[in-house]
Each structure stands twice: as structure tokens, then as C-alpha cells.
Amino acid sequence: MKSATSDLTILGGGLAGLTLALQVRQQLPTARITILEKRKHPAPEAAHKVGESSVEVGAHYFASVLGLKEHIVNEQLPKLGLRFFFPSGDNSRIEDRLEVGGRRYAPAPSYQLDRGRFENHLAERCLAEDIRFVDEANIKSFAIGRPHEVTYLRNGESISETSRWIVDASSRRAFIKRELGLEKDSPHVSNAVWFRIGKRIRVDDWSDDPEWQQGHEGELGRWYSTNHLMGKGYWVWLIPLGSGSTSVGIVAAEPHHSLSDFNSIDKAMAWLETHEPQCAAKVREHMDDLQDFLAIKNYSVESKQVFSADRWGITGEAGFFHDPFYSPGSDFIAFANTFLTNLITRDLTGRGIRIRSFAYDRIFKKFYYGTASVYHDQYQIFGNPQVMPVKVLWDYLIYWSLTGFIYMQGRMCEQTMYMRNLRKIIKLGNMNHFMQDFFREWHQKSTPTEAHGLINLSEMPIIKKFNEQLLEDFNSHQFSRIFKERVQQMETLMWEIIDESGLTPDVPFPRKEHADTVKGAFEHIFAATNRPSEPLVAVESR
């Protein structure tokens, strides 16, 4: 049996494992890093993986932290934000559906990533950085210890790999989680299918109404967005890929829709014809270009632990995954990899990690469960054109105020930041948990009516301001000041939403008035969703 020794062995050479290797290499130029990947490389373009749509944190991690911007700009596609279409009649006329989306690219960029093309580039970068990348490595056994040991087969030969650190990036094979009994059921029960069509499917072509098409010419076409077709208990995604293909997905929560209703391509097409007939018609035109199909049941996964002072860690779907709705997968890869890189770097340069590994594990899980509340039991709201647009904007602003702001300011591993801002972080988290419960209550007590027109996010000052500030370089004093302002602003918005709803919930926060905040920021959304006949600046009636 052959043997090899590394400082770090990464189980899995997909997105999480490849990016972790590159991030560790930045900090440790001479570290011995090995990646063991089951699949053969190079991977096919339009690869059979989810995670093609990035949002601000993931995009920043790939382009700026890892230095991959040149490849992304030249070989991938820009993303015109997230775009949502709410139900109208039988959904046969997209121009009649209430639309939430922008007409300009946001200051903080995001991208659509062809995973096969991207991971091939990452693998090439790893090889160029003297990272040992072993494809077609079939892991047979491993032992957590000092050192860790992995045995794998390649070309019929058994090879033993020992290392000081081991990180599981094996996606749902989840080697470490299964070996150590760290599996944990998720309360979020939802299912998905997805497939690729080898042609562009452009929502811009679904209507010839010139007024509807206006403002979305050229690179401002709606098809550059991650398009969400919304309905009760479900959403359908349309994501363009740089290879020329289109990724199509159906995501639906139990008990609203059963996976058995759409778990084959024929069933999926029948389901689309019932719920999203325009999408079904366009997909059918290109069925000869169907590239793949995959169904996954209960995709949400959790883990009792992800980082250990015993020099092991978990990243990507091998540990946690909540939901693809806001495309958070790459964000949580960025969070986990950044914590792991800090721990590995400290350990390999002779510094302690016991306290930090415990703290980072808790922080990561706090961020995860705070974000999970956005999805859990919320699919019932998805088809509600009164409540859901407000929730979408709230969710954006919470993300840009908390995890997005902390990460993009480079303060994820800064312990003093958490100490200085702990009360504010806790308050933001508590407000968000309360509001997610409130949105559900508001939905259940409302009688949804159809709404029409465009809620143009590009014209909303609060959206632009919060997004722009992700890119600013604040010192510690400025960061704390902005963070305090954000708490006050979100508190003001919370009360504005409650007042507009007409409900009187038991609010666990005293009502406060803050000067120079953002009162009235949501008035355009309320106008669109409650009084669609009254056009305002950011609500464009058609």
C-alpha cells in the first residue's frame, strides 16, 4: 500500500473543498494540502450540481477573497439580482404578474456560475498553487486521530493518507458527520428537482408587450436574474449559465406539494403545465436539449458540530444546508471556510485553537439557525402577493445588516467585534425571529388578492444604501456606529410593517422612535401590494 502525508487533507473536491484549499494556501504558502475527489476531472460544463446562483457574500468570497474575479467576469455571467413573479390567474401571462426586481445591477455584484466550468478552473488554480488534487479517489475508510488517516482506492491501488488536519467537504456523503454520529434532523421539510436545458430560456421572450419589455434591453434583460416563479408552497427557478444552458428547478415544501408529483421529467413537466404553464411551454420547445435531471428529498441537513479543536472540520453540505431560495449555499461555504482557514493557520503556525474552535462552531450555528428561520414553515407565504414582497425586502435588509455586513467587512473571525456588538447582534437576531413568525401570522389572517406591476428595487433608496455599504471600508469605530444605526433602522421598519398590516401582535420589544432613520422606506411596496391602481415612483403599473 502506498502512503502519503499532508498538513491538510480535504475530503471532496467540489466547490467547498477547492475553495478551502485555495484560501488556506493564501495564508500558508508552504503547507502540504491534499484534495481527494471522487469524480473524474475535468467536470462537464453545466455540471449536475446546484449552487449556480451566488449572492453578495458568496460573490465577494469568490471574486475578492480568493481573487477569481478575472475568470468570473470573463467566463461566467453577471447576475441582475433576484427577481420574483407572483401568481396571477392561471399564470399564463407573465406581464400580468406582480414583479419584484431591479432594472440595474446592484453596487455589490453577484454572479451566475456554471459549476462545471467554475470547478474546473478552481482545480486548475489548485494545481498551479502546488495543491495535490487527486481525482477518481474512492474513499474506503478513515480514522479521526493524531494524525488522521484516510484510505482510498485509485485505479485499483490502495493508498493511505495521513494528515494533521482533515476537513470534510464531501457534500451529502458527509463522512465525518456519519462517522462521529453528528447527524441532526432538520425541521424544514422540502424537496426539489432540477434539470438543465442546453439552450437559453429567457423570460423576456414570454411577452411581446413593449411596455413590459421596456428597460430590460441588452445586458439588463430579465433573464440575467435568478428568476423565481412563485406560488403557494413552491417556487420555480430559472438560472442562465455561461455555457449557454439554462438551469430549471422546482422547489416545494411539504405538505403543500409532494415530491412524488414531480420526481421525474415527465411528472415535472406535467406539474409545470398545471402551475407554471408559460415555463412548461418554453421548456417543451427545447426538450431535445435536456441535459440531466435530479430529484432530492428533504434537502435540508444539519450537524451537531462543524469545527473541532481535535483538528477536524466540516464545510458545505457535508454539514449544513437550509434552502436554495435566496441562494445562501455559497455564503455558508464562505463562512465555514473562513473560520476553518483561521483555525488551520493558527494551528500550523503554533498558536492555540481550543477556545476559538468552540467559539467559531457556536457562531456558525447561530448564523445558520438565524438564517434558517427565513425558510422554516414559510413556504405557505410564497404565493401571497401582499405579504411575501414585504418579507423579501425585510430578508434582504437583515442579510445586508447582519451576516453579509460582518463578512464583507472582513470581521467574521474578529472576536473583539462580537464582544463590542453582541447586544446589537442578539437584538437583530431576535427581531428577525419575531418578524418571521409575524409574516406567517399576517399571511394566515389576510385574504390575498392579485396585485400587478413592478416593484422596482433599483428605485428604492434603502436598498441602494444598504447594498452600497457592504463595499465600504469601515474602521472598527465606524463599523460599530453603522451597526448601531442598522439596528435602529430595522426596528423602525419592523414597526412600519406591523402598523401597515393592521394586526396587533404581542411584540416583545418596546416601541421606540429613532431620529434620522428610514421611516416610510416600504411605502412603495405597500402601495403596490395593497393598492395596485396607485402607481408610485418605485411601483410601475403596466
Q: What is the pLDDT along the chain (542 residues), one digit of tens a residue?
A: 688 799 999 999 999 999 999 999 999 999 999 999 999 998 887 666 766 899 999 999 999 999 999 999 999 999 999 999 999 999 999 999 999 999 999 999 999 999 999 999 999 999 999 999 999 999 999 999 999 999 999 999 999 999 999 999 999 999 999 999 999 999 999 999 999 999 999 999 999 999 999 999 999 999 999 999 999 999 999 999 999 999 999 999 999 999 999 999 999 999 999 999 999 999 999 999 999 999 999 999 999 999 999 999 999 999 999 999 999 999 999 999 999 999 999 999 999 999 999 999 999 999 999 999 999 999 999 999 999 999 999 999 999 999 999 999 999 999 999 999 999 999 999 999 999 999 999 999 998 788 899 999 998 989 999 999 999 999 999 999 999 999 999 999 999 999 999 999 999 999 988 866 776 777 767 776 664 433 333 445 44
94: Cα separation from own chain's centroid: 25
Quick one: which of 499, 533, 539, 540 has its CA closest to 519? 499
- How many helical (H) and strand (E) elements, i.e. helices and strands, does the chain have? 16, 21
Burial (CB < 10 A; 0-12, 13-18, 19+), residue 124, is middle
Q: Are 111 and 242 in contact (CB under 8 A)?
A: no
The CATH number of 1-47+113-182+304-375 is 3.50.50.60
Alpha-carbon span 121 to 68, nearest angstrom: 9
Q: Which three cell numbers stand for residue 163?
A: 494528515
Which residues are paired to 77 by β-bridges? 112
- In which element (H, E) is residue 389 found? helix 388-401
Q: What is the pLDDT, as a whole number, of residue 532?
A: 40
What span, in angstroms and rounded, lies between the C-alpha atoms of 529 and 390?
A: 9
Q: Tell me the one-letter amino acid at 531.
A: R
Task: Tell me how far CA of residue 198 lies from CA of 40, 227, 241, 285, in angstroms.
Answer: 22, 18, 10, 11
Question: 196 has which bridge partners?
Answer: 247
Alpha helices per DSSP H over 164-264 = 175-179, 210-213
Helix, strand or coil, per DSSP, at residue 490: helix
Give the pLDDT score at 514.
Answer: 82
Identify the pLDDT of residue 47. Answer: 61
Q: Where in the chain is the domain with CATH 3.30.9?
A: 77-112+189-299
Do residues 326 and 8 lie in contact, with contact meaning Cβ atoms separated by under 8 Å? no
State the pLDDT at residue 538: 40
- Dist. CA 47–CA 349, nearest whole Å: 37
Torsion of CA 209, 213, 218, 223, to 10 degrees: -100
What's the topology of domain 77-112+189-299? D-Amino Acid Oxidase; Chain A, domain 2 (3.30.9)
> What's the rounded Cα separation, in Å, for the pair 442 and 119?
43
Nearest CA-CA partner of 7 in 28, 37, 22, 26? 28
Greatest alpha-carbon pair distance for the chain in Å reads 75
Q: Report pLDDT for 533.
A: 35
Residues of the chain with CATH 3.50.50.60: 1-47+113-182+304-375
How far apart are the C-alpha atoms of 377 and 178, rounded to whole Å? Answer: 27
Grid cell digits, residue 72 = 468570473
CA–CA separation, 386 and 82 (whole Å): 18
